[in-house]
Amino acid sequence: MLGRKKEADKTKDLPLHIAMIMDGNGRYAKLKRRPRVHGHYEGMQNVKRITRHASDIGIKYLTLYAFSTENWSRPSAEVSYLMKLPGDFLGSFLPELIEKNVKVTTIGNMDDLPKHTIKAVAKAVDDTKDNTGLNLIFALNYGGRDELIQSFKSIHQDINDGKLKAEDIDDTLIQQYLMTYNIPDPEMIIRTSGEYRLSNFLLWQSSYSELFFTNTLWPEFGPDELDELIIQYRKRDRRFGGLNDKEV
Ligand code: V07
């Protein structure tokens, strides 16, 4: 009886934080015999659909890998197009984000982005800074190794300045020096389009994340499939290297 009750409780819990690698936009365009940017545009539209759904079902943190530090090596016309998407997205969707009490933030090095992109995103961050619903986090010019390098440099600096001793370094301290210092680690990381890699996304934060891979292309990854993966997540046994009930 106790065992059953426990199972029932388990099915209630929703992940606090879902992170997504939104892959397959180029492949989607190719299948439709359209230019790659068409896939990016449809991918951006799908961000609205998934954000709306995550907010509706009560997810607290949604992190989206929108532009990686590696993406600069794409053709410059494609990079320019991608840099217009935040402005496009917010131009049409910011009122709904505000209405839904969504708080927009970013991780990554914003400094290297075009001015118009920085401006559009900064406005959304500012206009939503007091919201208390879904935290929508865009990883823009983000790389997990970059993040670790920056944090190691800051830690070194603080040791030099006498604010910190080397003996103080532990996992809690490192977490405080990451771009995600105020964000809990993701319970779920989902990658679309059939690639089985993390590709430099949330390297430190993914240590205990449940990983989900689907062949669905990002523009076609809908709310129903997200719900399905959340059901799968609940069925998985999360143990953090300890023992679960059955083993005790
Ligand atoms: C981008 C669409 C999703 C698929 C992956 C690549 C293309 C939404 C944004 C965005 C970013 C910041 C913000 C509001 C919206 C975005 C880029 C690419 C660079 F505040 N989609 N999306 N940014 N894609």
Atom of ligand 1 minimally distant from the CA of 46:
3
Atom of ligand 1 minimally distant from the CA of 104:
20
Q: Which residue's CA is the closest to the ligand 1 atom numbered 18?
A: 66
Distance 85 CA to ligand 1 centre (A): 6
Which of the residue ranges 10-19, 178-187, 229-238 would you say has the lowest mean pLDDT? 10-19
Q: Is the pLDDT of residue 119 over 60?
A: yes
Atom of ligand 1 minimally distant from the CA of 41:
2
Distance 152 CA to ligand 1 centre (A): 28
Q: Is the pLDDT of residue 11 over 50?
A: no
pLDDT > 70: percent of the chain: 92
Residues 186-207: tens digit of each pLDDT: 999 999 999 999 999 999 999 9
Catalytic positions are 23, 71
> Per-residue confidence at 10, pLDDT binned at 50, 70, 90?
very low
pLDDT at 239: 66
Residues 16, 22, 26: CA angle, nearest 5 degrees: 175
Helices 115-127 and 76-99 meet at what angle, rounded to 10? 10
Listing DSSP states for the chain in one string gives -HHHHHHHHHTTPPPSEEEEE---HHHHHHHTT--HHHHHHHHHHHHHHHHHHHHHHT-SEEEEEEEEGGGGGS-HHHHHHHHHHHHHHHHHHHHHHHHTT-EEEEES-GGGS-HHHHHHHHHHHHHTTT--S-EEEEEEEE-HHHHHHHHHHHHHHHHHTTS--GGG-SHHHHHHHSTTTTSPPPSEEEE-TT----TTSSTTTTTTPEEEE--S-GGG--HHHHHHHHHHHHHSPP-TTS--GGG-
Residues 140-176: tens digit of each pLDDT: 999 999 999 999 999 999 999 999 999 999 999 999 9
Average pLDDT, the chain: 94
Its pTM stands at 0.93
Distance 133 CA to ligand 1 centre (A): 20
Q: Which residue's CA is the closest to the ligand 1 atom numbered 4?
A: 43
Question: Any residues with Cβ below 6 Å from ligand 1, and which?
Answer: 22, 25, 40, 43-44, 47, 66-67, 82, 85-86, 89-90, 104, 121, 124, 138, 140, 218
> Per-residue confidence at 125, pLDDT binned at 50, 70, 90?
very high
Q: Which residue's CA is the closest to the ligand 1 atom numbered 20?
A: 121
Measure the CA–CA gap between 223 and 246, rounded to whole angstroms: 33
Distance 66 CA to ligand 1 centre (A): 5
Q: Which residue's CA is the closest to the ligand 1 atom numbered 12?
A: 86
pLDDT at 4: 45
pLDDT at 135: 99
Contact, 142 vs 65, CB < 8 A? yes
Residues 40-49: tens digit of each pLDDT: 999 999 999 9
